[in-house]
Every structure is written in structure tokens, then in C-alpha cells.
């Protein structure tokens, strides 16, 4: 063996090749623009509050309006009220996105929220079904901001920190889903619940207060956004010297690449697969919530749980808490550890299971139901709430697919200038699903009960089959993103 000569001139550590500065730069994560991300997340938050605050009381509201003499058909009308919001939102998404490309993100976002605040305020004053539908339709028209806000988040981040920003932005929906149902369950019919709110106005309009509070929250978001939110559209930033001096990261090239059209983007297998599967995701997510509310409202002897609006609101709010915890603590682990597309598919796999589990809760409720007092025994109540906890845990795990889809879109978008249009396509598909899902799912539920098909439980295999189709469609994302 040849000995190595070592003297006082020998280095203690072996020489390493010099590091590539470009490689070092790629490893660095750009700090998140916390203020702007926080403001846009809060502004996004108000839409789910306005949207979900009606869920706990909508069936009672319609019943008080005497829209039908058959209580079993209430589900059809509640589905109609919930669907019309998304149907008109569908109309506005493309126009909002196009307008934001022309005049900027900020004015479009702010003007849309003003419309949401106004129409939500008016909803509780409705005295008929047509008035309720008009208010929800106008609220939907004002809510086409989803793709604009997603583009905003994309423009204030880059490839190094978007994976951190997207789950935080998506937190807006679960947080809104906590606040909205809590408002609806707590403050509907307040004159009957609280002596300190026993006013003649609230007796005349018992469902005004949840929408009124939601409207105030939205106006606060508008005021904060007006004074703090910065413009991110590159043409606007470069045209305004004040805005160009702000610390918002510049993510656009100096000579922007032309955004691809819808046809060109959908020819990309990954964008096509994510867009079409997001239709299924939106359909199943909202369908589950609609059916859960109907099922909870339906009397025990008719195949439901017989919950009042307050308990339904608490259940939906606890669902939002679960989603928030998962986004904060589980989502970062998933992004670090697992393949995003495969986890996206796994999230879908929750939906075929939740509907059979939901139907089993009625069996538990019937076993402990006292017809004389119309109450459940302590054991049955505990078992039912344990089952609800399992349901909500599974459904909120499935909700993580929304964050994963945002990241997958940005990773597989053909160029940076097409990210906004890609989000617009996905938002369009989700809104189309939201427009169809409540009416279809609530109609299946109502028809099962009205004609006593499978003892009123025909909705279970029907919805499980729809969920299986969604799982099948989500596998295309795994194939397309390899």
C-alpha cells in the first residue's frame, strides 16, 4: 500500500468542486409575502361564509315560506336555492377573469365582494321563493372571483414557495365553512332563542341576522382590501410607478409570453385530467354537504337524524375546524412525503364510503329513539355523534384534493402566462359541478323518500355509484402527470 505524505501544507479536508451558484439559488425558498397572502385569503374567506351560512336553516326557511305542502319535497327546493348560486357564478367566472386581465385583479376582486355583501344582506329579507332565488343568483354573479384570486396568489409567489402558499390560501374555505354554518345555526330565528334579540323586526324576518352579519364581515374585507391589497397584474404594475416600487415579487417575464387559449390548454393531458376530475371533486364535495344537511334535518322515523338547525350548524362548523387542522398540519407532511397525484386519487376514495356510513347512523338513532319525547337516549346520541365525527374526518380528508389540484395545475401548466387561464378552466368546472350537484343530489334524496324506494334509502347506492365514477376519473390525473 502506498503511503500518503502529509505535512503542514496539506489541507485538513479534501478539496470539493465549487458549488454551482445557480443550483444554490434554486434551493433557496423565496420568503412568502405574508401581508398580501393574508389579505387575499381573508377576502376569499367571505365567499364560503356567505355561501354556507344558509345551510343550517334553509330547509326551515323554505318550510316557513310554505313552498310545498309535502315536507318530503323540501329537499328539492333547498337544492334549487343552493344550485342557483353556482349556476350564476358559472356565468361570471370567464368574464371576471377576462376583465381582471384588462383592468387588474384588485378592482375586480373588490367590486365582486361588494356585490356579495349586498345580496347576502337582502337574502334574509326574502318573502317568497322567487325572491330567494333572485338574491342567490345575484350573489353568484358577484362571486366569479375564484380564478382571479388564485391568479393573484400565483403572481405574488414563485415555484419555490407556491407549495407553501396554496394550502394556506385554500384554508379560506374550511375557515369560512366554520363561520358560515355557525352564524346560520346560531342566529337564525334569534327572537325565539334569545330574549335579548326579541325584536319585532327579527320576528318578522327570522332568517335575516345570519346574512346581515355575513354582509358586515364582507364589507370589512372590502375596506381592508381597498387600502392594503396591491395590484399584481404585470401590465398594471409596470404602468404605475407607485405599485412598481412595492415589494411584491416580480414573477412575470419582461416580455410576457402569450397565454394559451382554452382549446390549447385542454389539449395538455395533465390540464385536461385535472380540470375534468375537478368537476367530480366539486360535485361530490358539495353533494355530500347538501345530503348531510338534508339527512340531519329529516326526522328519525323517516330515515334521518332529526337535528334542529343549531345542531346542524355546529356539525358543519366542526367539519370546518377539522379541515383547517388538516390543511395546517397534515398537508405539509403529504407534500413532503407522497406523490401529489396519487394522494389526489386517494382523497377521492373517501367519497364512496361516506354515504353508506351516513345511512348507518339512522339505524343507531332508531335503536335509541323515544317516540313519546322525540329524543335519543344518551348512548344513541354519543354513538351518532361518533359516527358524524368519522364522516366529517373522511370528508375533510377528501377536501385536501383542492390544495393538491392547485399545485398540480401550476406544476404542469405549459407556461407562466397560462396559469390564470388554467385556474379559470378548473374554477369553471367546479362551478358547473356546484350548479348541478345540489339539485341532482337533493332530488335523488327527495325521490327516494317520496316514493319510499329501498325504504327511502335508494340515495345511498345511487350516490356511492356517482362517487365511484369520480374515483375512476381521478386516476387519469395519476396517469397524465407521470
pLDDT at residue number 111: 95
Other CB atoms within 10 Å distance of the CB of residue 295: 21
Could you list the beta-strand ranges (E) of 204-357: none
Q: Output helix, strand, coil percentages for the chain, rounded to the nearest 5.
A: 75, 0, 25
pLDDT at residue 10 above 80?
no
| CATH, residue 196 | 1.20.1250.20
436-467 pLDDT, tens digit each: 998 899 999 999 988 899 999 999 999 999 99
168-211 pLDDT, tens digit each: 898 888 889 889 989 998 999 999 989 999 999 999 999 999 99
What is the grid cell recorded at 276?
375534468
Is the residue at 10 inside a domain?
no
Is the residue at 7 inside a domain?
no
Is the residue at 189 inside a domain?
yes
Q: CA nearest 405: which of 295, 287, 289, 280?
A: 280
pLDDT at residue number 250: 44
pLDDT at residue 245 above 90?
no
69-83 pLDDT, tens digit each: 877 788 888 888 888
Mean pLDDT of the chain: 86
pLDDT at residue 14 above 80?
no
311-366 pLDDT, tens digit each: 888 888 888 888 888 988 898 899 889 999 999 999 999 999 999 999 999 999 99
- Confidence tier at 236 by pLDDT (50, 70, 90): very low
Q: What is the mean pLDDT of residues 271-299?
A: 93
What is the grid cell recorded at 353?
364510503
- Confidence tier at 309 by pLDDT (50, 70, 90): confident
Is the residue at 193 inside a domain?
yes
126-144 pLDDT, tens digit each: 989 999 999 999 999 998 8
Domain assignment of residue 467, given as a range: 32-250+261-480
pLDDT at residue 44 above 80?
yes
Is the residue at 12 inside a domain?
no
Q: What is the mean pLDDT of residues 396-425?
A: 85
pLDDT at residue number 459: 95
Question: DSSP secondary structure string, 306-341?
Answer: ---HHHHHHHHHHHHHHHHHIIIIIHHHHHHHS-HH
Q: How many domains does the chain have?
A: 1
Q: Vertex 479, ends 475 and 481: CA angle to 5°?
A: 115
What is the grid cell recorded at 78?
333547498
Is the residue at 2 inside a domain?
no
Is the residue at 1 inside a domain?
no
pLDDT at residue number 246: 39
- Our measurement of the distance from residue 314's CA atom to the centroid of its chain's CA atoms, rounded to an integer in Å, reads 18
Is the residue at 135 inside a domain?
yes
pLDDT at residue number 238: 46
Amino acid at each position: 500500500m502506498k503511503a500518503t505524505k502529509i505535512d503542514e501544507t496539506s489541507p485538513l479536508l479534501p478539496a470539493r468542486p465549487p458549488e454551482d451558484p445557480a443550483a444554490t439559488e434554486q434551493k433557496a425558498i423565496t420568503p412568502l409575502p405574508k401581508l398580501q397572502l393574508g389579505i387575499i385569503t381573508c377576502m376569499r374567506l367571505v365567499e364560503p361564509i356567505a355561501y354556507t351560512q344558509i345551510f343550517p336553516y334553509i330547509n326551515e326557511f323554505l318550510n316557513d315560506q310554505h313552498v310545498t305542502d309535502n315536507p318530503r319535497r323540501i329537499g328539492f327546493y333547498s337544492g334549487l336555492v343552493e344550485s342557483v348560486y353556482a349556476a350564476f357564478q358559472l356565468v361570471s367566472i370567464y368574464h371576471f377573469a377576462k376583465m381582471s386581465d384588462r383592468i387588474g385583479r384588485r378592482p375586480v376582486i373588490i367590486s365582486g365582494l361588494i356585490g356579495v355583501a349586498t345580496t347576502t344582506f337582502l337574502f334574509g329579507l326574502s318573502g317568497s321563493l322567487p325572491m330567494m332565488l333572485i338574491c342567490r343568483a345575484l350573489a353568484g354573479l358577484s362571486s366569479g372571483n375564484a380564478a382571479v384570486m388564485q391568479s393573484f396568489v400565483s403572481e405574488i409567489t414563485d415555484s419555490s414557495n407556491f407549495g407553501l402558499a396554496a394550502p394556506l390560501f385554500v384554508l379560506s374555505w374550511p375557515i369560512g365553512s366554520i363561520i358560515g354554518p355557525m352564524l346560520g345555526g346560531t342566529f337564525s330565528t334569534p327572537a325565539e332563542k334569545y330574549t335579548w334579540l326579541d325584536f319585532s323586526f327579527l320576528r318578522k324576518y327570522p332568517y335575516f341576522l345570519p346574512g346581515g352579519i355575513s354582509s358586515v364581515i364582507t364589507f370589512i374585507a372590502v375596506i381592508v382590501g381597498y387600502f392594503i391589497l396591491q395590484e399584481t397584474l404585470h401590465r398594471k404594475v409596470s404602468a404605475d410607478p407607485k405599485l412598481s416600487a412595492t415589494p411584491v415579487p416580480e414573477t412575470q417575464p419582461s416580455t410576457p409570453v402569450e397565454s394559451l387559449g382554452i382549446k390549447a390548454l385542454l389539449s395538455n393531458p395533465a390540464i385536461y385530467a385535472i380540470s375534468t376530475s375537478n368537476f367530480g371533486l366539486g360535485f361530490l364535495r358539495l353533494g355530500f354537504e347538501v345530503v348531510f344537511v338534508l339527512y340531519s334535518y329529516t326526522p328519525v322515523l323517516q330515515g334521518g337524524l332529526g337535528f334542529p338547525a343549531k345542531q346542524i350548524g355546529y356539525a358543519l362548523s366542526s367539519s370546518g375546524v377539522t379541515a383547517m387542522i388538516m390543511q395546517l398540519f397534515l398537508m405539509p407532511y403529504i407534500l413532503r412525503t407522497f406523490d401529489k397525484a396519487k394522494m389526489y386519487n386517494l382523497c377521492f376514495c373517501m367519497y364512496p364510503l361516506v354515504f353508506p356510513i351516513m345511512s348507518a347512523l339512522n339505524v343507531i338513532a332508531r335503536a335509541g329513539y323515544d317516540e313519546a319525547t322525540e329524543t335519543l337516549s344518551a348512548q344513541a346520541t354519543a354513538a351518532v355523534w361518533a359516527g358524524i365525527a368519522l364522516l366529517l374526518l373522511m370528508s375533510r380528508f377528501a377536501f385536501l384534493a383542492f390544495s393538491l389540484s392547485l399545485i398540480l395545475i401550476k406544476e404542469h401548466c405549459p407556461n407562466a402566462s397560462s396559469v390564470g387561464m388554467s385556474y379559470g378552466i378548473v374554477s369553471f368546472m367546479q362551478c358547473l359541478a356546484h350548479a348541478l350537484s345540489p339539485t341532482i343530489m337533493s332530488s335523488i334524496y327527495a325521490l327516494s323518500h317520496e316514493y319510499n324506494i329501498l325504504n327511502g334509502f335508494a340515495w345511498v347506492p345511487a350516490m356511492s355509484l356517482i362517487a365511484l365514477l369520480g374515483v375512476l376519473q381521478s386516476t387519469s390525473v395519476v396517469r397524465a402527470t407521470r
